[in-house]
Amino acid sequence: MRPFEEIVREHGASVLSVCRALVGTADAEDAWAETFLAALRAYPSLRPDSSIRGWLVTIAHNKCMDLLRSRSRRIANETELTEDAGMQTRAAGSDLDLWKSIAGLPERQRLAIVHHYFGGLSHAATAAIIGGSPESVRKASSDGLFSLRSKITGGD
């Protein structure tokens, strides 16, 4: 079994971008820390043939959903998430707009895009986390991308 340190080095960045996209930059570090603590606790008894990436993104997903639930007002209030998500991005301008656009997508499209493009999961692995068929995840992802593209190029 690989040393946990290697798992953190290899997947730390992508887990953080998943967390940023799901709970916003301000809370992403809490979600990241909770994800890796839970992962470290479970890691020694993880089945050796497990997909580490899928396993970590699942934990991150659950931690993020917990965080969002514990602040249930946020679920109904996308604008706050939107602002948090944009607040600490490196460059202002287009990055900020993109975070806002992602946060503004319907949940299923957002999750499909985040897990696939940030978490690096296949549509099938994403479907295992968020439910539905791989094909429906693919569709949600492509609808989401279409919507993002029109927001970016539409300049609204």
Partner 1 sequence: METLENLEELRQVDESTLARLHQRLERESEEEGLLAVAFREIDSPIGKLLIASTSRGLVRLAFQNEKREEVLDELSRKLSPAILESPSKLDKESRELDEYFRGERRDFDLPLDLSLSTGFRRRVLGEMARIPYGATSTYSRLAVAAGSPNATRAVGTACATNPIPIVLPCHRVLRTDGSLGGYRGGLEAKSTLLELESR
102, 141 contact by CB (below 8 A)? no
Residues 2-21 that bind partner 1 (CB under 8 A): 2-6, 8, 12-14, 16-17, 20-21
42, 56 contact by CB (below 8 A)? no
Structure tokens at 15: 């887990």
SS3 115: helix
Q: Applying CB under 8 A, does 149 fall inside the site for partner 1?
A: yes
In angstroms, the Cα distances linking 57 to 3, 110, 149 are 18, 14, 25
Site string for partner 1, 99-118 (x = CB under 8 A): x--x----------x---xx
Q: Applying CB under 8 A, does 154 fall inside the site for partner 1?
A: no
Q: Candidates 1-9, 65-73, 123-131, 132-140 — which segment interacts with partner 1 by CB under 8 A? A: 1-9
The Cα 45–Cα 1 span in angstroms is 10
Q: Candidates 31-39, 58-66, 67-75, 125-133 — which segment interacts with partner 1 by CB under 8 A? A: 31-39
Q: Applying CB under 8 A, does 128 fall inside the site for partner 1?
A: no
The Cα 71–Cα 22 span in angstroms is 13
Virtual CA dihedral for 34, 36, 37, 42, nearest 10 degrees?
120
Q: Applying CB under 8 A, does 51 fall inside the site for partner 1?
A: no
Q: Using CB under 8 A as the criterion, which residues of the chain lie in contact with partner 1 when the complex forms?
A: 1-6, 8, 12-14, 16-17, 20-21, 29, 32-33, 36-37, 40-41, 43-44, 89-90, 94-95, 98-99, 102, 113, 117-118, 145, 148-149, 152
